Structure 1
Amino acid sequence: MSIKEFIKARVKSQLAARNNYKVTGIPPMTVVAGASNTVPRLNLVVMGIRKGALFGGADTAIRLFDAVSPHFQRHRLIVQSEAEDSFDTEKWAGWDLDSKPHAGSKTIAFQKQPNFVPQIDESDHFIATNWMSAMFVRSARRVQSVRRPSRFIYMIQDYEPGFYPWSGRHLLARATYVPKDDAIAVFNTQLLHDYFVKNDIVYPMSYAFEPRLSPSLAKHLGKLAGHKKRKLMLVYGRPGTGRNAFDMVVEALENWSRTDPNAGEWELVSLGEKHRDIKLAKGLVLRSRGKVPLDQYASYLLDAAVGFSLMASPHPSYPPLEMAEFGALVVTNTFDNKDLSQRVGNIRSVVETTPVALAAALQATCEEFSRTTVPASAARAFLGGEVEFPFLPDLVPKFLEG
């Protein structure tokens, strides 16, 4: 989404809220009870599956779904924010539209499809992937018969109330963490799990996993040996996502470009979300490339000597880990119990998250690269092992309980 599109959507949302006095932006929650069916079905509830939507946490959720799928005879994706025109028959070969009669055992239900409401039966098991999908799952479970499964899986990939100011949406997101006995919490990283426990959000049944580097990127790691890094600073730039603190990123770069006498030697590229190019001191320009294909992203990761990525939340976020895994020296921030510098040596975590302190860290990091004579090598930033969800043998029987 461009900045212009983001602002337009935000203004539209604010006007709707002002005129209707309703919490806006919540996808449809309507479901109906279907015919009785005793064949277990696994449902993954996601926001979108269109091209470009399945990355980061969404891609991880698909992998969890795939890992649990062998225990079920029927499978369904429930897509909350898209209609059937998002259905890519090539990518989802072998899957039918849930709205069609006589659909097979693998279907995709698009909730924004006109005149269509997903049918729920007593054998439906659910994986929620964010707070809105958790709201949907609880709505769906209310229409199931008394023979419904005991629990659903709540995949928690960040502290999502923090995505919003204190507001109705903030309260709704927090509310999904309140009933705990009906959910099996699966946390994306032990760090995030520990943050929840620290804030007295404790689930009777919970697991944590460490994500792996995306296979689409990992296949390029072998090229790093002998590859010469250059004075390229890779910046994670997402102006439309507040938790990535793009305003702080820009102010820090402005400070760094003025105070570092050697700043002019560096090339700056922003990836993540398209924005206007930003002029800095010494003729430097932060050039935006937006969201690029993974192979092109891997090329940037191979070349970049320095990475700069902020995240105002307890989740580590993938970009600084990806940059570090490819041998870049990375500047990021601490947050509560999160300090990625304790995980891997080529990450510098800044405690005092101000433009001046971040600029000083960038200068020190650039100077460190200029001094080093050691070729770049891959670092172990992602902690996930060969088996990404090793707890499944313990989780699945609890999930299957009636």
Structure 2
Amino acid sequence: MVVELGTHTGVSYAALCTSVERHAVPARCYAVDTWAGDEHAGQYGEEIFADLSQYHRARFSSFSTLIRSTFDEAVEHFADGSIDLLHIDGLHSYDAVSHDFDTWKPKLSDRAVVLFHDTNERHHDFGVWKLWAELRTQFPAFEFIHGHGLGVLLVGPNPPVDLLEIANLPEKKAAVIRHRFALLGERWEAEQQLLANAEYFQSLQQTFQAQLNEQQKVHESERAAGRDETTDAQDAAVREALASAVASWEATIQAAIAKANASVESAPTVTQLSTKLFDAEAKARAAERELQRLRSRVETESDARTHMVASLQERISALNAALAFSKNERDAERVARAMIEHSTFWRATRPVREFFTHHPRARRTFRATARLVVSTLRGNLPQMLATRRAKLREAAIVANSELFDANWYVTQYEDVRQSGLSAAVHYAIVGASDHRNPSSRFDARWYVTQYPEVTAAQMNPLVHYELQGKKEGFQVQSVSVPPLAAAAAEPLDITTQQQLAPSVVFADELIADHFNNTRPLRVYPVPGEPRRVTMVTDSISPGSLFGGVGTAIVFATSLAKRLGAKLRLVTRTEVANPTAFGTILKLNEISWDDNIEFIFSPPKDGYAVPIGDDEIFVTTSWWTTRAVRQVCAPSQIVYLLQEDERMFYAFGDERLRCAETISDPDITVVVNSEILFNHLTSGPDALANVAANGTWFEPSFPFLANVVDRRQPAPGEKRRFFFYARPHNVRNLYWRGLEVIVTSLKDGTLDPLEWEFHFVGKDMPDAVLPHNIRPYFHRNLPWQNYVELISSMDIGLSLMDTPHPSYPPLDLAATGAIVVTNQHGCKTDLEKYSKNIICTSTDIESLQDGIKKALDLSRNPEQRSANFSSNSISKNWSQSFDKAFSVVASRTN
């Protein structure tokens, strides 16, 4: 196990993860940080964590986890003796780093290695060097001096042999190793400096051209006003400034080359980098020659204004022509590349993939050959795939934007139709960089002119508005009326013109935009397709695996196995994460040996999905059900209903459409839990179609089957109180739960000396409870950490204003905890699952009575244990689904 304390932008952590991945080390990696900054790293905003999280999710999420908490909070979630490599890079004062080492030392394994960053920093209150001086006399150690210093401490009694040999090297040999690593670092820095200088040269050229253009404009305006003498003086000043900039550039690049050459001469042992350096130097020499040419041009420029303007105009015309030609070539290349990336190659090669699935020896031979071929190529595939994923994410945002009109975009730009791409994908790849308008309601060029930071960030203007601009109150402007439209509008009076131009919206498109997530799924029939279960949902990501999404994955996969069908996942709001899909199957002990096809098809103009005659759709919400209902027979739909979704809305249009969909008499409805089924069939606004065509299953918890060793508090140790806290989920009743805890602490129902409080969920404010109690906040826990945490709880409070039993009470009860939850309609008690679940009314007094009953039961370990032994919480999905699948099979055959 690898743990890093203090990750910031993630440079060192990414290096650790890359090494684990490259050498196929069977390790789990964890990065612990608040991502809020400190007095040494400085304070920083959410963008640091957002950028790292996005990169981490794409690269390392299969074996790595980001834990957003303090070091002291996180240490409780790691077992003693479990960590093999610990990197300490938090607050660098002596007291802080000593505390971190002492706190985490019990978690180290018998072969553990601890890395200390900044052992060579001695300014201000940096104290790592002081602790390092103490520890290196107690344990085998090795220190790299270059940079800020890195200490390698072999803490475990059985350290790796290779590292032990390095730690015991004589000083001369140790110095050689340090020197070689330092040279590698210097060589890398020299190369980066040369690349930075090349970028600076390009920027200087652009600045030079801009100043010359500005000169021309000033000259023309001032010549008309008869002020040529003033202009000539300004020209001389500009030339002098440019000459100074060129001289400064020459000095910078010569220093960089000299430094790189010195590294080459003193580092014959690192020749593997010489080729890269040679190329960089060649580029630098070419840049130097070009700068010399520019310098000569500036020095020899004629003082005669007319000659200078004529020369510049000729040069600018040539550059504009070259730029136009380059843009045309670029657009053609972009479209060609995008068409290849979005071709039907994947479907066409399905027989090949299936052959390799059943012939592992051939598959291994093919993979070895493929790796050999790829290794001989340019090596830019990861970057290309990362760019492609980024463009697909942008396309999803564009497609779901109310300011994107696919039909309008296609009619305005002829090359969109010729490209064969969907409008959203074309805009993400080509249109945005050309500042094309995504609809008549969004002038992209006006937006980037009004907000230059968009161009500086190199962002798609519409994506920037949806992700940032809208939150910050940025304005948008409609596209100017085309000339023909303006001419046609001349007979109208000014009032009429203001009403019609330029933001005319057709009523049917207005309706479709408002209910964007119910637009029909784009499909096309393919004869002879095998039977297949296609699950349609919004998204699948590591952050959405709890509760209903995980159950939907298990349901669709298990149904495909039961029917002997293929399996496919279609997402509508973001590209699916296959690793997350596999994680939930593994946790729930569901095996799947065949291929799983993943398709991202957002509303409006998503990719068309090929479907066969025997296609079965598993839909996960009323809006995905409505989207699918428009493109297939209702008998092909299995609607997985896990809440009374009508309760999501106040009375109005959304609730009306939800009720219409959920009442469809021709769709098979499978309900999560008997209690919810009873509510839907006999509660308020009962649904006759669910009673006639529906069935139900009970949720299962196989990942909790082996949780038997609960934490037992030692004498004098506080017991643990769990609170399920999601303040932005209105059904969670977060505020009522917080009221009950506050009241119970104030009146003595909960003894602050007996209990510690753990708030689990997301978006929680850092609230301080009465008696100055600071709860432990557990935000966005990885699944395994969540299981370990609930297995240590004594009492839980989990409120949910829904007829479904909800998962947290069942999670806690399945591990032996006592839970207080609320009643709702026919959900009057949950003793059918566990007698350790106490249901009460939602008023504060009743909930306090429930907590008192839980306290009494917690003091009676025999009764609590007996209740746990009589639990009827399922641990086997196959048994849970058996009845429901029989109904589905009979209705879909």
What range is the shorter-chain TM-score in? 0.7 to 0.9
Shift of 1:285: 2.9
- CA change 1:249–1:23 in 2 (3 A) is farther
The residue number in structure 1 matching 2:150 is none
| Stretch deviating more after TM superposition (111-120 or 55-64) | 111-120
The residue number in structure 1 matching 2:540 is 49
Alpha-carbon distance in structure 1 between the residues aligned to 2:516 and 2:837 = 36
Match of 2:882 among 375, 390, 394: 390
Match of 2:705 among 209, 212, 218: 218
Alpha-carbon distance in structure 2 between the residues aligned to 1:281 and 1:376 = 29
Alpha-carbon distance in structure 1 between the residues aligned to 2:783 and 2:577 = 21
- CA change 1:12–1:170 in 2 (3 A) is farther
Describe how 1:146-185 pairs up with structure 2 within 5 A: 150-181=635-666, 183-185=667-669
Q: In the alignment, does 2:797 pair up with 1:308?
A: yes
Alpha-carbon distance in structure 1 between the residues aligned to 2:521 and 2:556 = 23
Alpha-carbon distance in structure 2 between the residues aligned to 1:275 and 1:117 = 40
Alpha-carbon distance in structure 1 between the residues aligned to 2:572 and 2:855 = 44
Match of 2:598 among 108, 129, 141: 108
Query: Match for 2:550: what amino acid?
Result: D
Shift of 1:232: 0.7
**Paired residues of 2:539 and 2:571 also in contact (CA < 8 A):** yes
| Stretch deviating more after TM superposition (306-315 or 193-202) | 193-202
Shift of 1:132: 1.7
**Paired residues of 1:228 and 1:376 also in contact (CA < 8 A):** no
The residue number in structure 2 matching 1:338 is 827
3-state DSSP class of the match of 1:304? coil
**Paired residues of 2:557 and 2:567 also in contact (CA < 8 A):** no
The residue number in structure 2 matching 1:75 is 567
Match of 1:186 among 650, 661, 670: 670
Shift of 1:321: 1.2
Query: Match for 1:281: what amino acid?
Result: P
3-state DSSP class of the match of 2:544? coil
Query: Match for 2:835: what amino acid?
Result: G
Match of 2:528 among 37, 53, 64: 37
- CA change 1:92–1:190 in 2 (3 A) is closer
The residue number in structure 2 matching 1:96 is none
Over alpha carbons, which structure has the higher Rg? 2
**Paired residues of 1:49 and 1:79 also in contact (CA < 8 A):** yes
The residue number in structure 2 matching 1:231 is 719
Shift of 1:37: 3.2
Shift of 1:208: 1.1
| Stretch deviating more after TM superposition (359-368 or 118-127) | 359-368
Root-mean-square deviation over aligned CA pairs: 3.2
Describe how 1:1-150 pairs up with structure 2 within 5 A: 23=514, 26=517, 29-70=520-561, 71-83=563-575, 86-88=576-578, 106-112=596-602, 116-141=607-632, 150=635
The residue number in structure 2 matching 1:284 is 773
In structure 2, list runs of 5 or more residues that go unmatched.
1-45, 48-465, 474-504, 584-593
Q: Size of the alignment, in residue pairs? A: 367
Alpha-carbon distance in structure 1 between the residues aligned to 2:880 and 2:807 = 15
Structure showing the higher helix proportion among its residues:
2
Query: Match for 1:43: what amino acid?
Result: T
Alpha-carbon distance in structure 2 between the residues aligned to 1:79 and 1:140 = 16
Alpha-carbon distance in structure 2 between the residues aligned to 1:261 and 1:87 = 45
| Stretch deviating more after TM superposition (280-289 or 159-168) | 280-289
Deviation by residue 1:339-378 (Cα, 9 ceiling, x = unmatched):
2343222111112x12333234324423442x32438544
The residue number in structure 2 matching 1:297 is 786
| Stretch deviating more after TM superposition (258-267 or 25-34) | 25-34
Match of 1:248 among 725, 736, 740: 736
The residue number in structure 2 matching 1:273 is 762
> What TM-score results when the alignment is normalised by the length of structure 2?
0.38
Alpha-carbon distance in structure 2 between the residues aligned to 1:108 and 1:332 = 38
Shift of 1:396: 4.3
Shift of 1:136: 1.8
Query: Match for 1:257: what amino acid?
Result: L
Shift of 1:276: 1.9
Runs of 4+ in structure 1 over 4 Å off = 19-22, 89-93, 226-230, 383-386
**Paired residues of 1:123 and 1:149 also in contact (CA < 8 A):** no
Shift of 1:381: 5.1
Alpha-carbon distance in structure 2 between the residues aligned to 1:296 and 1:393 = 32
Shift of 1:200: 2.5
| Stretch deviating more after TM superposition (148-157 or 335-344) | 148-157
Query: Match for 1:201: what amino acid?
Result: L
Query: Match for 2:848: what amino acid?
Result: A
- CA change 1:289–1:106 in 2 (3 A) is closer
3-state DSSP class of the match of 1:140? coil
Q: Percent identity?
A: 23
**Paired residues of 1:238 and 1:273 also in contact (CA < 8 A):** yes
Alpha-carbon distance in structure 2 between the residues aligned to 1:165 and 1:194 = 22
3-state DSSP class of the match of 1:150? helix
Q: In the alignment, does 2:691 pair up with 1:200?
A: no
Shift of 1:282: 1.8
3-state DSSP class of the match of 1:52? helix
Deviation by residue 1:163-211 (Cα, 9 ceiling, x = unmatched):
2222322222212112212x11111111111111113202322211111
Query: Match for 1:164: what amino acid?
Result: Y
> What TM-score results when the alignment is normalised by the length of structure 1?
0.81
The residue number in structure 2 matching 1:357 is 846
**Paired residues of 2:637 and 2:668 also in contact (CA < 8 A):** yes
Deviation by residue 1:15-42 (Cα, 9 ceiling, x = unmatched):
9xxx978646726534132333352221
Deviation by residue 1:74-129 (Cα, 9 ceiling, x = unmatched):
3211112213xx44469659xxxxxxxxxx96411112397623233433211111
**Paired residues of 1:210 and 1:383 also in contact (CA < 8 A):** yes
Alpha-carbon distance in structure 1 between the residues aligned to 2:823 and 2:596 = 42
Query: Match for 1:188: what amino acid?
Result: N
- CA change 1:367–1:391 in 2 (3 A) is closer
3-state DSSP class of the match of 2:882? coil
Query: Match for 2:787: what amino acid?
Result: A
3-state DSSP class of the match of 1:232? strand
**Paired residues of 2:531 and 2:612 also in contact (CA < 8 A):** no
Query: Match for 1:157: what amino acid?
Result: Q
- CA change 1:381–1:172 in 2 (3 A) is farther
- CA change 1:88–1:32 in 2 (3 A) is closer
Alpha-carbon distance in structure 2 between the residues aligned to 1:216 and 1:254 = 33
Deviation by residue 1:122-167 (Cα, 9 ceiling, x = unmatched):
33211111212211220231xxxxxx57342111111011022223
Alpha-carbon distance in structure 1 between the residues aligned to 2:470 and 2:568 = 32
Structure showing greater relative contact order (alpha-carbon pairs closer than 8 Å, 6 or more residues apart):
1
**Paired residues of 1:234 and 1:308 also in contact (CA < 8 A):** yes
Q: In the alignment, does 2:811 pair up with 1:326?
A: no
3-state DSSP class of the match of 1:125? strand
Query: Match for 1:250: what amino acid?
Result: L
- CA change 1:257–1:41 in 2 (3 A) is same
Query: Match for 1:163: what amino acid?
Result: F
